[in-house]
Amino acid sequence: MGKKLLMMLLCLGLVFGMLAGCGGTEGGSGSDTEEGGGDSEDPDAEKEEPVSLRAVMFGSAGDRNTEFFENEFHDRVLEELNIDMKIEFLPWGSEDQVGTMLASGEKFAFYSAITRPNFANWGKSGFFATIDEEMIEELAPAYLEARMDYGFETSKYQGDIVVLPVGAIAYSGVLDNFVIRNDILNKVGWDVSEIENYDDLVEAVKAVKAEYPDMEILYNMDHIGKGLECVYAPNGEIFQNDRLASIVAFNLADPESDEVISWLESDYFGELCKILEDWYAMGFTEPDQLIDYTIYENAWQSGNCLMGAGALDRIYKHTELNNYNGGDEDIQYLSLDDGPTVLVKDYDWGWSISAEDQENVEHWLRFFNWMYESKENYMFCLYGVEGEDYTLSEAGVPQPITKDEFFASWMHRTLFYEPLSPEEYDEAEIEEYMNMDKTAIISKTSGFVFDSTPVEVESSAISTIVTEKVQPIAFGFGNYEEDFPAVLEELKAAGLDKYIEEYQRQFSEFMANK
């Protein structure tokens, strides 16, 4: 009997155990669940509401990038960050529209740069969210690592970080000399290594013009002033002025001076005008360059242009134009002097966040950290889907398939993930490029933004005269000696002296407080 009883008790225990297990499966909680154990999640648990973010880029919305941002990109960011991100495009030149959006209190992040003309007015109006550096260190360590040695000194307004700079390449030497087609020079008996001074350059260009009369000589003409600096300013001056007809300039060779140069009244401007008059007379330039600069940019991109304002902030040799026409162009950097390059800021453009979106700064930092958290994420954001939007060359260089732009690679690219390939460039070139910013002059104007509000009327009147009357002379299409004195009188009557005085006051104050 004892054995039978024992067997009955064992059977009953087994049955009750099975029933208990079934009950737990059908809706009850087993002991593991009650104690917080087990791997399964409650399917009825509520997920946290996604954070809605809106990004506004300058550029063009095409079929493919629109599809990408609405689908593959949106879904990954939602899944991995719980961020519901909307991407919008505005055409380049739509800064006034961005200003209207900021003034109306819209929540969004947008392309921004501290040197843009509207920046001071937006900053003064309190339109920018501020970004705490400690928060960046806490929430975006991968972003900081990908930015390499660059910091935030050139992305502040009145001491606060208001631009989140992206990318990490060499940034000094922007538009400071010439970029030139050495393969074309070779066809007419010249090589870029033989151009040692201004006279050599003129002779080489004349040879190209004689052999290829229909070829355009110059693109990006409005920015070539720095390339000719050693000709019109032979005493070692290093100017910072954005365009041929800038209103003010600074001599960066004297880093302690707070002098604001009235550029249009300077002898330097007069000498530059005369040089470009000679270029026009020799057939190097054409008046259409004042009207439609895209003609000449298109000529450059199609391989039918000799040179333009260039920058040492990239390596030009080898294959820069191959993305356009698949040729074998040998494009090189040409400097007529051996002076140092200048570092104005350590990013091309960055991202600012509207003040109304201040509460979401931490989520924006989470996103940019995610973008740079892995090479996979980085390539995805900049180039799209591999095999559909881009392929990789044997050297590992992205080769776009679609013409649509995603997160602009020129802006977001970092050497942390895209180091220069020794298969594509000589080691000496790479070494020069990687160390360029270390030997550059840091511009004393870095972080300064002129507020034109006190001279708004004068600024508007001067701008109109510059566009209509100064630019043709500055480009060499007039006669400086005969035409400019009367134009200068008009500028004076429009308030040029008051404008320069206010500029000087603000810059002196800036220098005193550095």
What pLDDT digit, counting tens, does each position of 44-77 carry?
A: 456 789 999 999 999 999 999 999 999 999 999 9
CA angle at 450 for the pair 449 and 454, rounded to the nearest 5°: 145
Q: What global pTM score does this model have?
A: 0.73
Q: Is the pLDDT of residue 304 over 60?
A: yes
Whether 311 and 395 share a structural domain: no
If one counts every other C-beta atom within 10 angstroms of the C-beta of residue 160, the result is 15
Whether 181 and 127 share a structural domain: no
Whether 222 and 114 share a structural domain: no
Edge-to-edge strand order for the sheet containing 239-240?
Answer: 239-240, 248-251, 261-262
How far apart CA 372 and CA 399 sit, in angstroms, is 20
Whether 354 and 335 share a structural domain: no
Percent of residues, the chain, with pLDDT higher than 90: 60
> Average pLDDT, stretch 34-51?
58
How far apart CA 179 and CA 312 sit, in angstroms, is 9
Residue reference for tokens 């970029």: 179
**Looking at this protein, which amino acid is placed at residue 166?**
V
The residues, any chain, with a CB within 8 Å of residue 16's CB and separated by 6 or more, are: none
Return phi, psi of residue 62, to 5°: -105, 180
Q: What pLDDT, on a 0 to 100 scale, did the predictor assign at position 497?
A: 98
Please give the residue that has the higher pLDDT: either 238 or 514: 238
> Average pLDDT, stretch 244-253?
94
Q: Is the pLDDT of residue 40 over 70?
A: no
Among candidate residues 385, 412, 427, the one where a domain is terminated: 427
Residues spanned by the domain of 281: 177-343
CATH number at residue 233: 3.40.190.10
Q: Is the pLDDT of residue 31 over 80?
A: no
Directed axis angle between helix 496-512 and helix 480-493, to 10°?
80
Whether 228 and 314 share a structural domain: yes
Q: Is the pLDDT of residue 494 over 90?
A: yes
Whether 244 and 287 share a structural domain: yes
Among candidate residues 343, 359, 384, the one where a domain is terminated: 343
Q: Is the pLDDT of residue 418 over 80?
A: yes
Whether 319 and 216 share a structural domain: yes
Whether 216 and 275 share a structural domain: yes
Whether 287 and 377 share a structural domain: no
Task: Please check whether residue 367 lies inside any domain of the structure.
Answer: yes
Mean pLDDT of the chain: 86
Among candidate residues 343, 363, 380, the one where a domain is terminated: 343
SS3 422: coil
- Per the CB < 8 A criterion, the answer to whether 353 and 131 are in contact is yes
Task: Please check whether residue 147 lies inside any domain of the structure.
Answer: yes
How far apart CA 254 and CA 257 sit, in angstroms, is 6
Residues shown for the chain: 514
> Average pLDDT, stretch 40-44?
48
Whether 214 and 311 share a structural domain: yes
Would you state the structure tokens that stand for residue 450, as one six-digit string? 């002129």
How far apart CA 9 and CA 6 sit, in angstroms, is 5
Q: Which residues of 421-490 form beta strands (DSSP E)? A: 441-442
Whether 193 and 325 share a structural domain: yes
- Per the CB < 8 A criterion, the answer to whether 135 and 362 are in contact is yes
Q: Is the pLDDT of residue 505 over 90?
A: yes
Please give the residue that has the higher pLDDT: either 97 or 157: 97
> Average pLDDT, stretch 318-331?
54
Q: Is the pLDDT of residue 351 over 90?
A: yes
**Highest mean pLDDT out of 105-119, 440-454, 499-513:** 499-513
Q: What pLDDT, on a 0 to 100 scale, did the predictor assign at position 328?
A: 67
Task: Please check whether residue 190 lies inside any domain of the structure.
Answer: yes
Q: How many domains does the chain have?
A: 3
Q: Is the pLDDT of residue 309 over 80?
A: yes
Task: Please check whether residue 62 lies inside any domain of the structure.
Answer: yes
Task: Please check whether residue 7 lies inside any domain of the structure.
Answer: no
